Chain A
């Protein structure tokens, strides 16, 4: 069992065994983050390129810091200042980076399936940092890691995923990952924001959040993806917030010890109220910390530590 040299494109395609390997490594690497000197020499001499075609704060910084803490050298590509502005294709851009000796590419892209395409173009491994509406596998791994921190298990847990499921790569990766590990998942949102035949993925779908949240151990609030709303999928943010946003009342349907999660960035007052986002039940910042540890583990396994 080894992830060395492999791509990490989706949790749909990742085995439960490999997921658990990453999670257990992340568990031991997390301790590095609380050391006075946050650096181990494990990946010295390796270069990780962040190829981001879409804006990102958390994921990009998280991969960059994960690389640094492991002594790999991160380099970044930003769409705005790149030759993509001159019409260079993704395939050409990526092959140029490969030609410069990059060892691994982390890509964020607005088009679903782009990481699968990149993996066909490149010989070096590709890690998906979010592709369109498809998947965001490292986010789901860090979410699972965070849930384990609080609940110590996944099997049998009730997880409610609420909001804009249609456009959410985070929802898809969590659905694939959490169902593989035995969680019971409910999703809810306005019907216009639920993808077709979603129940065939092994989840229960509701059009009212309260029904999905009933008895939940985890309430996962999705960001309303305002940049991807191309049609009139809902009348207004105000109305969305009233019926589908998570507030104290809707959360009261969950178990008393339920935790609240969100992948960020939050639209405060839209999909989640500030009092819930900042409440003790919110583990949103823990997710961010877990993210660094999980990405350190991913880089470690794919780049193989030492030669």
Chain B
């Protein structure tokens, strides 16, 4: 007896086929089986979800999260992090290797996948470290990690500081068809910095991180990508200059992709001042200026930016309830991203639903080379259902994530993840976890 899930009456938006119409979607044995205007449920064997008035998209993939396990389970673990992902409308997450120990061997990759099997409710794709201990010196065993299930490689949290190490890594990864995700930052320019360098750092007396600390690294990375022909992805770009450099590089045919976070698309450094030095506004790269936000939004629309990723960085309350300089960098983003993107970018008409699905599902799947990102027949039955009309307030104490650190507390938003389906299994529906 086949296992069927039928999603009826939703507006299906699938960028892989440029579909945008009201359709029923049938998932059978965990895979997309059929899309049609009217599909009848088979008696007794079909679970039916009513998606009337909702938007049905290929499952969202957050290609940049910190699940903190192993080592920092007091901040987050794979169970809580993936429940947060499910609540946030993500059917898969790719987790960064800055754990303790770092995810720099096939053993740790295997351990993460094993824990995911036991505790995760969405798909977990480990990202392995580029260098041993993320120390930037010697290449980690990326081939072994790839074989064990790592989907990409990054020293995120830190840049690959040495241009020569980056060069070798990009060359070496060609044998394993995996993307290298760099965190672009010139540490000598950002040293000691707390927020964006500019008027607000002057007014607050907080040390500034100039845009150029990112752009110098982006420029270098692009040159090394050109030299090697390797596959480079730039994490959390935040400045006007960065997207200009990437736009030029893409025009020249350099193989590069990049992502942006919701907070860099929405907030500016003025939030630091307006919030009275709220440490939940402290994030790396820092919140930039209106000019940067406008340039990032433009780059989303024109295709320079390929993906939206949260850089979900949960921290313990105690790590943020301290003086600004002593607080950790990072924002807990999994449970706010979809609503913020709808409320601030889709509903105001900056991007459309199709573009949103491309940025949050199709492109992340293609960049990482993982299944999903599409509703074509035979694809995994991973689906995100959006309620475009639900209005609510962001209240971090309701987060599934252990990290309540968000600068969006109390924000009134319209639009929300309504359902999360992973391999035909409903893990979140009607804003409640089903697992």
Contact = CB atoms under 8 A, between A and B. Distances in A.
Interface of A: 12, 89-91, 109, 111-114, 116-117, 119-120, 131-135, 169, 172, 195-198, 200-201, 230-231
A239 B392 CA distance: 60
B33 to A, nearest CB: 54
Nearest to B272: A113
Contact of B206 (A89, A112, A201): A112
Nearest to B208: A196
A109 B205 CA distance: 13
Contacts of A12: 203
B204 A112 contact: yes
Interface string B206-217: 111000000000
A109 B202 contact: no
A203 to B, nearest CB: 11
Nearest to A13: B276
Nearest to B200: A197
20 contacts: A89-B322, A91-B322, A111-B326, A113-B205, A114-B323, A116-B277, A117-B277, A131-B205, A133-B205, A133-B207, A134-B205, A134-B206, A195-B201, A195-B202, A196-B201, A196-B208, A197-B202, A201-B203, A230-B192, A231-B191
A169 B206 CA distance: 11
A231 B188 CA distance: 10
B130 to A, nearest CB: 28
A132 B201 CA distance: 12
B202 A198 contact: yes
Nearest to A89: B322
Contact of B324 (A117, A172, A195): A117
A197 B289 CA distance: 13
B322 A120 contact: no
A241 to B, nearest CB: 25
Contacts of B194: 112
Please provide the 3 A-B residue pairs with the shortest distance between their CB atoms, ordered closest to farther. Answer: A134-B205, A113-B277, A133-B205
B199 interface: yes
A169 B201 CA distance: 12
B139 to A, nearest CB: 32
Contacts of B191: 230-231
B408 interface: no
B323 A111 contact: yes
Contacts of B60: none
B198 interface: yes
B325 A112 contact: yes
Given A120-B276, A196-B198, A197-B198, A112 B205 contact: yes
A89 B198 CA distance: 30
A169 B202 contact: no
Given A90-B322, A90-B323, A230-B192, A169 B205 contact: yes
Find the residue from B203, B207, B323 having the highest chain A CB count within 10 A.
B323
B323 A113 contact: yes
B432 to A, nearest CB: 33
B411 interface: no
Nearest to A120: B276
Contacts of B202: 195-198, 200-201
Interface in B118-175: none
Interface residues of B, number: 24
Nearest to B196: A196
Nearest to B318: A89
A113 B199 contact: no
Nearest to A112: B205
A197 B204 CA distance: 13
Given A91-B322, A196-B197, A197-B199, A116 B205 contact: no
Given A113-B205, A116-B276, A133-B205, A196 B324 contact: no
B321 interface: yes
Interface string B268-291: 000000001101000000000000
Interface string B30-58: 00000000000000000000000000000
Contacts of B325: 111-112, 132
A172 B205 contact: yes
Contacts of A113: 204-206, 276-277, 323-324
Contacts of B206: 112-113, 132-134
Interface in B281-338: 318, 321-326
Find the residue from A112, A230, A231 having the highest chain B CB count within 10 A.
A112
A132 B276 contact: no
Given A133-B205, A169-B205, A111 B321 contact: no
Contacts of B277: 112-113, 116-117
Contacts of B326: 111
A230 B323 CA distance: 20
Nearest to A165: B202
A288 B254 CA distance: 63
Given A131-B205, A132-B325, 15 more contacts: A89-B318, A109-B323, A112-B194, A112-B205, A112-B277, A113-B205, A113-B323, A113-B324, A132-B205, A134-B206, A172-B205, A196-B199, A196-B202, A230-B191, A230-B192
Interface in B326-361: 326
B274 to A, nearest CB: 12
Nearest to A168: B205
A217 B293 CA distance: 43
Contacts of B205: 112-113, 131-135, 169, 172
Contacts of A172: 203, 205
Contacts of B276: 113, 116, 119-120
A195 B199 CA distance: 8
Contacts of B323: 90, 109, 111, 113-114, 117
A196 B202 CA distance: 6
A15 B384 CA distance: 51
A113 B275 CA distance: 11
B349 to A, nearest CB: 32
A127 to B, nearest CB: 16
B215 to A, nearest CB: 16
Nearest to A133: B205
Contacts of B208: 196
A131 B325 CA distance: 12
Given A196-B198, A196-B208, A112 B324 contact: yes
Nearest to B326: A111
